[in-house]
Amino acid sequence: MIDNAMRDEFARQGYIVVPDVLDQQQLDELNRVYDEHVLEREETLSAAGTDKQNRFYIGGRDKCETTDRHGNSYTGRRLWNKAYMDLIDNETMLPLLEEVLGDPAWGHAPAHMPAELRPQFRLDHDNVHYKPGRTPTDGPDKGGGLHGGPAAFHVTCVYELKTVGPGDGGFGCVVGTHKPANEQKLKDMDGDWRWNWSDTEWTSKLPNWDEDVPVHRVEAKAGDCILFTEKLKHGTIPWAGKGERRTLFYKYVPFGMHHGDAAYDTNDPELTERQKRILEFSPCWFNEPREDRDYSANPALTQLHPLARVESDPSVLLPGMSPPHIRLTDETRAKLLSDDGRGASTNAKA
C-alpha cells in the first residue's frame, strides 16, 4: 500500500521509485520472452543504431478481433505472454494506481467522475524501450526531448528489466514540473531547453538551472518500478551504459478517459477478469477521442457521461496540482456551455 512518505515524495517530485516490485523468477521469465521478441529479431538489432531511440509495442505483432462487454468491436493486440499480462495489475503497483488515478485530488481523474467509477482505470497503451550496450567507439546517443505537462491525466509504470546505474541514462525528468508553477520556471528559461535539458555542458551556462529546475537521472535496480505522472516534464537521457537498456512502459488513464487509440484483445484466455477490465476500451465518458483518429466503427466511444463538464473542479486538488485536460470538440463544448447553464463557465465547479 502507498504510505504517507510515498505520497509526499510523489506529490513533491512527480515520481517515485518502488523497489523490488519484481522477484527474480519474474525477471527471468520477462527477460526470456524479451529475448525472443526483441534480441532474436534481426530487424530489431539492425535498427538499434546508436542514433536511434527504439520503442516496440508489447504484443504489437499479434492482433485479434475482439468484442468487449460494452459492445465495442475492434482489433486488439495481445501481450507477449502471461508474465507480461501480470504486469497489468501487479500486486504492488495496483493500490498505488488506484489511488493516483481514482482520487481527483491528484489531478488525473476529473472531479465530477462518479464514485462508482473510482478507482477504476484502464491500460491506455504501452511500449518497450531497448538500447544495446555502449562501446568506446560508439558515437553519441541522441536521447529524447522533454514532453508531458500539468494538464495530462495519465500515469505510467516503468519496469526495469536490467539495472540502470549512475550515469547510464534512460528515464529522466525535471523534478516538480508536474505543478504549473514549477513548469513555468522551465518555460521562462532561455534557449532550447526541450532538447538540451540533459546536456550538463549546456545547462551549466544557465543561472540557477539546478536550483530552479533540477534534472533527476533516475537510477533503478532490475525489478524496480518507477511510477510517474505524465504531468511531469520527462524524457530519455542519452544511453551511456555498458549493458543493455530494457525498460517496459505501462501507461494508465482513469476509466472513461483516453489518451491514445490503442486497443487490446480482452478475450485472451490467460487474462484474469480484473486484467480484462483494465484492458477494456472503455467509452470516452469524460473526454472525447482524438479528432485525428477514426472511431466511427465504435460510436459508443464518443458518448459522454451525463455529468460531463467543460473542465474539472480545481478546488479538490492537492496544493500546486493542476486539473486534467478534458478534451472536447468545439461542438460538444458549445453544447455543454449552453445546456441549462451546466458548465456555463469554464470556472464552474462540477
CA torsion sign for 235, 239, 240, 245 is positive
Could you report the per-residue pLDDT of 36-50, keeping only the tens digit for each?
887 666 555 555 554
- Distances in whole angstroms, Cα of residue 109 to Cα of each of 12, 36, 96, 255, 342: 19, 37, 14, 8, 19
Cell, residue 261 = 487509440
Q: What pTM did the predictor assign?
A: 0.90
d(CA 231, CA 237): 18
Q: Candidates 2.60.120.620, 3.20.20.100, 1.25.40.10, 3.40.190.10; correct CATH number of 4-338?
A: 2.60.120.620
Q: Is the pLDDT of residue 20 over 60?
A: yes
Q: Is the pLDDT of residue 128 over 60?
A: yes
d(CA 25, CA 112): 42
Could you report the per-residue pLDDT of 335-348, keeping only the tens digit for each?
888 875 455 433 33
Cα 242 vs. chain centroid, distance in angstroms? 27
Strands 73-77 and 155-160: unpaired
Q: Is the pLDDT of residue 196 over 50?
A: yes
Q: Is the pLDDT of residue 108 over 80?
A: yes
Cell, residue 252 = 494508465
Could you report the per-residue pLDDT of 58-86, keeping only the tens digit for each?
545 577 888 877 777 777 888 889 999 99
d(CA 26, CA 84): 9
